[in-house]
Structure 1
Amino acid sequence: MTEFFIQEKQLSSVTRTIVKDNKGKPLYLMVGHWGRKGNVLSLYAMDGQIVAYIKQASVILGRKFEIYYDQTKVGVLHKIFHWPGDFYYIKQLHWAVYGDIYNHKYKINHFNQNVMTMDKATLLTGDYYVLDIAKQSDAPVAICVAAVMDYWLYNRNKQAEPDPIFEVTFSQN
């Protein structure tokens, strides 16, 4: 299992995220912006190759995000229902995202197998989201899903709210 730490920050509608390992070595760069149909948030390897990206597909009648991995569309993330907690689904991957989205305590499952769990932690250097991802190969898409969840959380009722900025590090268990 791989553990990612994402520092809590919200600055502007332009997102820049450095993904680092537990030694501080940069692994990925996430850039882009949200808010309008067609906007994209991209995850790049440090060699400049795009690894995954999210494209905002709809802003009217429920926001939908298309998720791409290795230049191939792997799914569409959209909200299924809102009561008593949020539930999101990526049909093509058979991933269900559920839990306490408001407090960053949720899971992604593929049927009954855990893909990722999200929680919060306070460290000496600040407040972090903690992502435990079962398979390293799922990490780029899971990080993209976490970015969308954060976007939805902070932009539920305020169209002009700033988008999240993440700093990500991870360690192998």
Structure 2
Amino acid sequence: MKQLYIKQKFLSLTDRFKVKDEQGNEVYYVEGSFLKIPKTFTIYDMEGHEVAVITKKVFAFLPKFIVEMEGRQVITIKKEFTFFRSRYTIDAAGIEVRGNWWDMTFQVFQHGEKIGQVSKEWFTWGDSYKVEILNEEMEQIIIALVIAIDCVKEEQNTAAAASSSV
């Protein structure tokens, strides 16, 4: 089992953060597009190779996020039409998320087999998550999934703050 930690900087304008291993070594870094439409987050390994790109679709009736790896769409997260509570679906070939992904405490399964789990680290500045990788072949897709879910949460929080200030 491998443990990785995602720590976003509190009040960062650059949307850049790192993913570290248990020893504190940087394993990946994530760069967000600042003031760019569509909003994207790109995950790189430490050699600078692109691992995944997360894009928010602009011209969609409801919010939709796409994760691409090696030029292929591998994950889609989209908001469903509901009147009261926000609900999202995650569509990924054979991948299922169980638990409370809104609070970032969930498990990731592939074809019924647990391949990872995520828990939010409390009492830290900014958002911090512990990601346990049980199937190391799925490490990059699990990291992309966690960052994509975090993007969805941030988008929802921004939208809620904007609508409450009107």
Secondary structure of 1:139's partner? helix
Shift of 1:104: 1.5
Q: Percent identity?
A: 21
Match of 1:107 in 2: 107
Secondary structure of 1:132's partner? strand
Match of 2:90 in 1: 89
**Structure 2 unaligned blocks of 5 or more:** 162-166
Shift of 1:54: 1.2
Structure 2 CA distance for aligned equivalents of residues 27 and 145 of structure 1:
16
Asked if 1:73 is matched to 2:77, the reply is no
* RMSD over aligned Cα atoms: 3.4
Shift of 1:21: 2.5
* Bigger mean CA offset, 76-85 vs 111-120: 76-85
Match of 2:3 in 1: 3
Deviations, residues 41-63 of structure 1 (Å, cap 9, x unaligned): 11112222112221222464322
**Structure 1 unaligned blocks of 5 or more:** 162-173
Deviations, residues 37-96 of structure 1 (Å, cap 9, x unaligned): 5322111122221122212224643222221223333232324588989553224x2222
Distance change in 2, residues 1:44/1:124 (3 Å): closer
Structure 1 CA distance for aligned equivalents of residues 130 and 13 of structure 2:
23
Q: Which one scores higher on RCO, CA 8 angstroms, separation ≥ 6?
A: 1
Contact kept in structure 2, 1:88 and 1:98, CA below 8 Å: no
State how 1:26-37 maps to structure 2 within 5 Å: 26-33=26-33
**Structure 2-normalised TM-score?**
0.74
Distance change in 2, residues 1:58/1:133 (3 Å): farther
Match of 1:15 in 2: 15
Structure 2 CA distance for aligned equivalents of residues 51 and 113 of structure 1:
23
Letter of the 1:61 counterpart: F
Q: More helix by proportion, 1 or 2?
A: 2
Structure 2 CA distance for aligned equivalents of residues 74 and 21 of structure 1:
24
Match of 1:132 in 2: 132
Match of 2:148 in 1: 148
Matched residues, number: 160
Distance change in 2, residues 1:66/1:20 (3 Å): same
Shift of 1:140: 1.8
Structure 2 CA distance for aligned equivalents of residues 124 and 53 of structure 1:
27
Match of 1:50 in 2: 50
Match of 1:62 in 2: 62
Match of 1:168 in 2: none
Letter of the 1:89 counterpart: I
